[in-house]
């Protein structure tokens, strides 16, 4: 089928393009640069160069592509993260979530697309109740400036008239080209012992290998219906377990442990919450509705695989 992929060159976009083409789909992918457009064409996709915040250009590209399915994998998170300026760091990504999704919805409908599938994240749920939550859990109301754009985007997709909308809430990506891959931001923090366990390290993180997330997204072209699905692996993990395991996989020294008050003073409340109260996500619904199984059911083996060559070379 014909697929319009907004954000074809990112951490998820690259494996997704590979998998879509391998499954026999025709892909029209977007990027802002001519160089990446050339790489997309060399891989076998069509490429459109545009800024997704230019609504007229994005609409024109969707109409020209005449897709059956529209995929939105746009994010803008590559700048170094300063947790004290989290809202500013997220600003362009929030605009891509709300403004670009609205454009893609309208243009997709106008172009006759039957379905739209949009990237979201699983780590925005309220940080209370059971340690592992499903898609019906409320979103985090302690930081509405961060979660409200995500909630608005999700509502817009699920409630859309005239086009079937599915939201995929991915877990924390790991694997090549992600922040938990060789040279990635989180991996480097762990390597330098700058990602400590906070307090008892109870905060639960749900991960997904980026290629497993791409596999789920290909299934979502046809399956999953309308709604919201968590695309995460089988093992939500307390921070006290996964950080030391990641350090081992990288060949780094074990992490430090710091009290919450110190982490709060240095990094701010958001960092403390990810280490102590964040909830994990269940993938039961995605398994049932997509027929998806993560190729790496646990981040334990996935981290080891991701960094195997680095650990062997001791770099």
By CB under 6 A, is residue 217 in contact with ligand NAP? no
| Extended beta strands in 11-114, E state | 26-31, 46-49, 69-72
Comparing CB distances to ligand NAP, the nearer of 137 and 258 is: 137
> 96: which DSSP letter?
I
Site for ligand NAP in 242-271 (CB under 6 A): none
Query: DSSP per residue over 20-47, as a string?
Result: HHHTT-EEEEEES-HHHHHHHHHHT-EE
Instruction: Name which position in 55, 77, 143, 158 contacts ligand NAP (CB under 6 A).
Output: 77
By CB under 6 A, is residue 121 in contact with ligand NAP? yes
- Spatial contact of 169 and 125, defined as CB atoms under 8 Å apart: no
Strand partners, 235: none
Instruction: Name which position in 147, 179, 217, 274 contacts ligand NAP (CB under 6 A).
Output: 179
Instruction: Name which position in 76, 211, 212, 233 contacts ligand NAP (CB under 6 A).
Output: 76
- Spatial contact of 40 and 17, defined as CB atoms under 8 Å apart: yes
| Extended beta strands in 109-232, E state | 115-121, 132-133, 164-170, 172-174, 197-198, 204-205, 207-209, 227-231
By CB under 6 A, is residue 33 in contact with ligand NAP? yes
By CB under 6 A, is residue 30 in contact with ligand NAP? yes
By CB under 6 A, is residue 40 in contact with ligand NAP? no
- The continuous run of DSSP H or E covering 238 comes out as strand 237-238
- The continuous run of DSSP H or E covering 249 comes out as helix 239-250
Euclidean distance between CA atoms 225 and 158, whole angstroms: 10
Torsion angle in degrees (nearest 10) through CA of 255, 261, 263, 265: -150
Torsion angle in degrees (nearest 10) through CA of 107, 31, 120, 244: 170
Strand partners, 139: 125
By CB under 6 A, is residue 299 in contact with ligand NAP? no
By CB under 6 A, is residue 199 in contact with ligand NAP? no
Instruction: Name which position in 3, 4, 9, 303 contacts ligand NAP (CB under 6 A).
Output: 9
In the bound complex, what is the minimum distance in angstroms from residue 293's beta carbon to ligand NAP? Answer: 19
Instruction: Name which position in 25, 36, 209, 273 contacts ligand NAP (CB under 6 A).
Output: 36
The site that binds ligand NAP (CB under 6 A) totals a number of residues, namely 27
* Span near ligand NAP by CB under 6 A; candidates 27-35, 195-203, 243-251, 258-266: 27-35
Comparing CB distances to ligand NAP, the nearer of 36 and 300 is: 36
By CB under 6 A, is residue 233 in contact with ligand NAP? no
Comparing CB distances to ligand NAP, the nearer of 3 and 258 is: 3
Instruction: Name which position in 22, 41, 44, 51 contacts ligand NAP (CB under 6 A).
Output: 51
By CB under 6 A, is residue 15 in contact with ligand NAP? no
By CB under 6 A, is residue 104 in contact with ligand NAP? no
By CB under 6 A, is residue 173 in contact with ligand NAP? yes
Instruction: Name which position in 74, 247, 250, 278 contacts ligand NAP (CB under 6 A).
Output: 74
Can you give the C-alpha Rg of the chain in angstroms?
Answer: 19
Q: Which of 288, 313, 295 is nearest to 223 (CA)?
A: 288
In the bound complex, what is the minimum distance in angstroms from residue 57's beta carbon to ligand NAP? Answer: 9
Alpha-carbon separation of residue 187 from 33, 52, 249, 256, 277 (angstroms): 27, 29, 10, 15, 22
Where does this chain bind ligand NAP (CB under 6 A)?
7-11, 13, 30-33, 36, 51-53, 74-78, 96, 121, 170, 172-173, 178-179, 184
């Amino acid at each position: 089928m014909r697929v319009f992929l907004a954000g074809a060159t990112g951490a998820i976009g690259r494996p997704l393009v590979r998998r879509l083409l391998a499954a026999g789909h025709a892909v029209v992918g977007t990027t802002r640069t001519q160089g990446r457009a050339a790489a997309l064409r060399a891989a076998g996709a069509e490429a459109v160069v545009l800024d997704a915040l230019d609504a007229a250009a994005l609409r024109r590209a969707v109409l020209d592509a005449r897709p059956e399915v529209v995929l939105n994998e746009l994010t803008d998170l590559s700048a170094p993260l300063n947790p004290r300026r989290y809202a500013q760091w997220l600003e362009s990504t929030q605009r891509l979530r709300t403004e670009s999704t609205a454009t893609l919805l309208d243009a997709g409908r106008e172009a006759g697309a039957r379905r739209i599938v949009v990237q979201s994240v699983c780590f925005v749920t309220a940080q209370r109740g059971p340690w592992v939550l499903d898609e019906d859990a409320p979103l985090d109301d302690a930081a509405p400036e961060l979660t409200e754009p995500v909630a608005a985007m999700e509502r817009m997709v699920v409630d859309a008239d005239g086009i079937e909308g599915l939201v995929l809430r991915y877990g924390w990506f790991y694997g090549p080209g992600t922040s938990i891959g060789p040279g990635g931001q989180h991996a480097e923090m762990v390597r330098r012992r700058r990602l400590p366990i906070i307090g008892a390290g109870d905060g639960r993180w749900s991960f997904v290998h980026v290629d497993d997330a791409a596999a789920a997204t290909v299934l979502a072209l046809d399956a999953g219906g309308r709604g919201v699905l968590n695309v995460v692996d089988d093992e939500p993990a307390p921070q006290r377990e996964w950080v030391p395991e990641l350090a081992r996989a990288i060949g780094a020294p074990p992490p430090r442990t710091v009290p919450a008050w110190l982490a709060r003073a240095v990094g701010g409340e958001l960092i403390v919450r990810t280490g102590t109260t964040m909830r994990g996500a269940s993938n039961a619904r995605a398994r049932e509705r997509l027929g998806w199984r993560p190729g790496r059911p646990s981040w334990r083996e996935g981290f080891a695989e991701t960094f195997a060559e680095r650990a062997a070379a001791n770099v």
